[in-house]
Amino acid sequence: MASKWYPKKGRVIFHVDMNSFYASVEAAFDPSLKGKPLAIAGNPEERRGIIVTSSYEARKYGVKTTMPLGEARRLCPDLIVMRPNFERYRTASKEMFKILADVTSLVQPVSIDEGYMDITDCADQGTPPELAERIQHRISEELDLPCSIGIAPNKFLAKMASDMKKPMGITILRKRDLDRTLWPLPIEEMHGVGTKTAEKLRKIGIETIGGLASHSVTELKGLLGINGERLQNRANGMDDRPVDPEAVHEFKSIGTSTTLPHDTTDEDEIQTVLRRLSNKVAARMSGKKVLARNVQLTIRYHDRKTVTRSRQLHEFVSKPDELFQHSIQLFDQHWNQDPVRLLGVTAGDLAEKSEVTQQLDLFNYQQYASKEKLYKTIDTLTEKYGKNPFHTLEIPDQTKVSTSFQKDFLDDYKK
């Protein structure tokens, strides 16, 4: 009987995660690629290119996301490398989300290849495992794509569950089973714990998710700020975030780009463009109440050659000037002096402002405190006059501004 699967109090959440999405889409488009080690990379012709994703056959050789292409080829000499085809992936993603929407309207896309579903009111359609199997089967049969589905009472546990069996896995994660299913896992495997956070946690003796679940919350807050308490709640299976179809702010980057009215090598004009783009990205970040720990610059030259470079930051940033300074430094490092046709600025590695406590030390406290009033004044004046009154340089309005691919996709999904 399906009703016993659906609690009177509480929810049933799915996390649907497409397996090796880009590589799987290419194999669905060209079946001759199936069963072969395949990688998608930004610049296949260059050894310096970076692996975006790879098939499970390639992963068996040790090929990993973000690995330099030269290293991947050494590990797997027969590796097939392709450039990403974003239109193809975008089309496949839209079709995948249509299948999810056939089950419930409570679908929240998180990125192009994953999303949450709240199926609490879907008892008339069958048990959660039956529904998951049906969704997985439809995506496989209609799109020829594999996916894994996590089933749990909340978003965090559903996300952890979908990672437990890949490819084509269906995993149920219940709160009463955490001591044997979740807590024994290494702390690095917990969603929301990055490499640096894991290093900090290991230094205070936390090796597993269970160790985090039972640790002193006071010590965790001292180490990680409010994020320490939030992570401990997650480790104990607590997460009350709703599945929100409107929550497109959870995408992983915020970016914008502009095609210039003419190819240029004028450094003043280029600086003006980068400042305007930084302002736009910062405004969107402010609206979404997020901070970034990665800044990416895109340069497209007159011959359409495109270069994308990024830097990981030690601290979170959100202000226009911070984004601009990192963007201009990246430009100075990587511009080859050829005429520029397009520029783009993207903020990545996002976190909600409310969940981040800046770890101020003796060296940056005064600098941060002295700027805070200025930031608030600028924000007030910008709100009043519609633009930052301290930035007088503007590029011509005829430039065409487009948002990042990820934002485009999620905006389209909402329509």
Decide which of 352, 385, 404 is a domain's last residue. Answer: 352
| pTM, entire model | 0.64
Q: Is the confidence at residue 401, as pLDDT, over 50?
A: no
In a domain, 246, yes or no: no
Q: Please report which confidence band the pLDDT of residue 3 belongs to, taking 50, 70 and 90 as the band edges.
A: low
Is 17 labeled as ligand-binding?
A: yes
The boundaries of the domain holding residue 326 are 253-352
Q: Where are the beta strands (DSSP E) in 55-164?
A: 80-82, 107-111, 114-118, 147-152
In this structure, the answer to whether residues 79 and 134 fall within a common structural domain is yes
In this structure, the answer to whether residues 158 and 14 fall within a common structural domain is yes
Q: Specify the pLDDT at position 45.
A: 64
Q: Is the confidence at residue 39, as pLDDT, over 60?
A: yes
Q: Specify the pLDDT at position 249.
A: 47
In this structure, the answer to whether residues 83 and 130 fall within a common structural domain is yes
Would you call 114 a catalytic residue per the annotation?
A: yes
In a domain, 358, yes or no: no
In a domain, 381, yes or no: yes
Please, what is the average pLDDT of the chain?
84
Q: Is the confidence at residue 177, as pLDDT, over 90?
A: yes
Q: Is the confidence at residue 201, as pLDDT, over 60?
A: yes
Q: Which amino acid is at 87?
A: E
Q: Specify the pLDDT at position 392.
A: 39
207: Cβ contacts below 8 Å, ≥ 6 apart: 186, 187
In a domain, 241, yes or no: no
Q: Specify the pLDDT at position 361.
A: 35
In a domain, 84, yes or no: yes
Domain count, the chain: 3
In this structure, the answer to whether residues 20 and 114 fall within a common structural domain is yes
- CA neighbor of 62 nearest in space, from 52, 76, 46: 76
In this structure, the answer to whether residues 166 and 315 fall within a common structural domain is no
Q: Specify the pLDDT at position 66.
A: 80
Is 412 labeled as ligand-binding?
A: no
In this structure, the answer to whether residues 381 and 345 fall within a common structural domain is no
Show the tokens assigned to 356.
């981040």
Q: Specify the pLDDT at position 96.
A: 97
DSSP state letter for 165: S
In this structure, the answer to whether residues 181 and 112 fall within a common structural domain is no
In a domain, 80, yes or no: yes
Mean pLDDT computed over 5-22: 92
Q: Specify the pLDDT at position 41.
A: 86
Q: Please report which confidence band the pLDDT of residue 290 belongs to, taking 50, 70 and 90 as the band edges.
A: confident
- CA neighbor of 105 nearest in space, from 116, 93, 91, 90: 116
In a domain, 244, yes or no: no
Identify the residue with better confidence: 413 or 215. 215
Exposed/middle/buried for 397, CB within 10 Å: 0-12, 13-18, 19+? Answer: exposed
In this structure, the answer to whether residues 48 and 92 fall within a common structural domain is yes
Length of the chain: 415
In this structure, the answer to whether residues 260 and 396 fall within a common structural domain is no
Q: Specify the pLDDT at position 140.
A: 97
CATH of the domain at 102: 3.30.70.270
In this structure, the answer to whether residues 112 and 92 fall within a common structural domain is yes
Q: Please report which confidence band the pLDDT of residue 232 belongs to, taking 50, 70 and 90 as the band edges.
A: very high
CB neighbourhood size of 364 (10 A): 12
* Least confident residue range of 125-129, 157-161, 258-262: 258-262
Q: Is the confidence at residue 310, as pLDDT, over 80?
A: yes
Q: Specify the pLDDT at position 396.
A: 35
Q: Is the confidence at residue 38, as pLDDT, over 70?
A: yes
In a domain, 247, yes or no: no
* pLDDT digits 0-9 by tens, 343-399: 999 998 887 765 553 333 333 334 444 455 555 555 555 544 444 444 433 333 333
Q: For tokens 């990680």, what's the residue?
A: 224
* Least confident residue range of 179-183, 316-320, 348-352: 348-352
In this structure, the answer to whether residues 391 and 319 fall within a common structural domain is no
CATH of the domain at 268: 3.30.1490.100
Decide which of 302, 325, 352 is a domain's last residue. Answer: 352
CATH of the domain at 224: 1.10.150.20
In this structure, the answer to whether residues 372 and 329 fall within a common structural domain is no
Choose the catalytic residue: 26, 57, 114, 322: 114
CB neighbourhood size of 90 (10 A): 17
Question: Which H or E run includes 346?
Answer: strand 340-352
